[in-house]
Structure 1
Amino acid sequence: MKINKIELKELLKKLNSGEDVSGVKEEARALLERISPKELSETEQELINEGLPETELRHLCEAHIEVMAEELKALKAEVEEGHPLQVLIVEHDEILKVLDRLEQANKVIQEMNSYDCNNDVFKELKEVSYLLLETENHHKREEEALFPEVDYTGVTGPTRIMKMEHEDLWPRKEKIDYLTEHIEKIEFDDFKEELKDNTEYLILILRDHIFKENHILYPTAKEVIPEGRWEEIKKNSDKIGYCSFTPKDNKK
């Protein structure tokens, strides 16, 4: 059932109003349960074409996650090992583990009163920082191999939002890496404050970003991209390269 643009516009106004009204979430759930990711993406695209800023769709993406929990499970069952989407999903699982490690390392460091170079938590932070920078290969494959194919079908709204968030996340990864490399030159209280700010922001946004891609963008891509184009996406992905944490079996 095609969602009514007027209904969606009204819902967006409520979601972006800043009001904490439980009824708005329930209304969003009821509306979004009636449509598929593809239908939502098409309607979002129409609104963008009419001048709606992409930033105003972010709250809708968040609401959509709550009613699309089964989409990822179904998608995993549809794609074989080595399919570009399957690789991206597996990498998401690994990235989420990295974020868990970052969260724990930050928690330990925030409880410390001074820097101790012999404490393994700083070695852990450095390893995690390296892996966060490695996620750029994941994002690059999305932006250069997958997203253009989605855009070609006329559905550009979801990819624009994801690109915007990629750009938003990169400086945070760089900052955490900078902090780990210059910790001995920074006042420890300042180090902790900057680490906390960048870590908490990165974890919140990247976790949310991953769920939106898993539950909205990837199902949409699977539905709108012609079957014959996936081999080309795989070839382009291979050229770009993978992450150090990408399971070897998934690169074949």
Structure 2
Amino acid sequence: MTAAARKEELKDLLERLNSGQAAEEVKKEAQELIESISAKELSEAEQELINEGLDETELRHLCTAHIEAMAEELKELKTNVPVGHPLSTLIAEHEEILKILDRLDQVNSEIQTLESYDAENPVFEELKELGAKLLDTEKHHTREEETLFPEVDKSGVTGPTRIMRMEHDDLWPHKEKINELAEKAGAMDFDKFKKELKEHTEYVVVTLRDHIFKENNILYPTAKDVIEESKWEEIKAQSDQIGYCGFTPEAEINN
């Protein structure tokens, strides 16, 4: 299939996904198409659709269809970048963020079973720690936006980075709110606290897990393909300047 034919098929699939037509059948078709092309080709096809006027928010539907199809991309990428390479560091941080999300999910579930706030219950202290770690993920996002994304954009492939920036912006107020709720738990009406915690936690857990998957399996392999090898040292130096998260593995920082 030629690049032009892939683009037309992607366009058709997006239109059908956005209209809600036979969702499962269309998702299966999208997965089959995605399995037959590289992350770079997919990003280029998405970029052409954006250039033709497609709203990038509509590409989220296609990203959702990647969930099973692109899993091999990450394994291949991890074997091709050494520890300390900016992509290795970002992937390692993703692994830590996923652990934070798993624990946040569990802590929220535990709090939802309680009848009242109890300062002696360690779950509330843990929620504070998790709230602070969520805010700390902003250093990860800043490094992506200021060092990695501009280099991908220079290649002409701006669709994936636009979507990731948009999701960073969407996630921030929810992360801030979880941290605020953790700090104010004892001073709030407990039912209101639980309701708001559930709402913001569920949004962050679902959205950030999906966001990480898309970066690992679509954006990062694309970045590896389109960024010149000579540029990675500069990206690493800029990343060092911005700084790392409290949970970034030491081996990634010092290599």
Aligned length: 252
* Large movers: runs of 4+ above 4 Å: none
Matches within 5 A, 1:70-219: 70-219=72-221
Amino acid across the alignment from 1:191: F
Structure 1: which 5+ residue stretches go unaligned? Answer: none
So what's the TM-score if we normalise by structure 2?
0.97
Q: Give me the whole-angstrom Cα distance separating, in 1, the residues matched to 2:135 and 2:23.
A: 38
Contact 1:65 1:216 in 2 (8 A): no
SS of residue paired to 1:67: coil
SS of residue paired to 2:19: coil
Amino acid across the alignment from 1:241: G
Q: Give me the whole-angstrom Cα distance separating, in 1, the residues matched to 2:51 and 2:210.
A: 25
Match of 1:65 among 67, 88, 107: 67
Amino acid across the alignment from 1:148: P
Amino acid across the alignment from 1:94: E
Q: 1:247 corresponds to which residue?
A: 249
Contact 2:17 2:23 in 1 (8 A): no
Q: Give me the whole-angstrom Cα distance separating, in 2, the residues matched to 1:64 and 1:18.
A: 17
SS of residue paired to 1:66: coil
Identity of aligned residues (%): 65
So what's the TM-score if we normalise by structure 1?
0.98
Structure 2: which 5+ residue stretches go unaligned? Answer: none
Return the offset for 1:184: 2.1
Amino acid across the alignment from 2:191: D
Return the offset for 1:223: 0.5
Return the offset for 1:195: 0.1
Contact 2:161 2:219 in 1 (8 A): yes
| Further displaced range: 180-189 or 90-99 | 180-189
Provide Cα deviations, 1:198-234, integer angstroms capped at 9, x if missing partner.
0001000000000000000000000010100000100
Return the offset for 1:20: 5.2
Contact 1:133 1:173 in 2 (8 A): yes
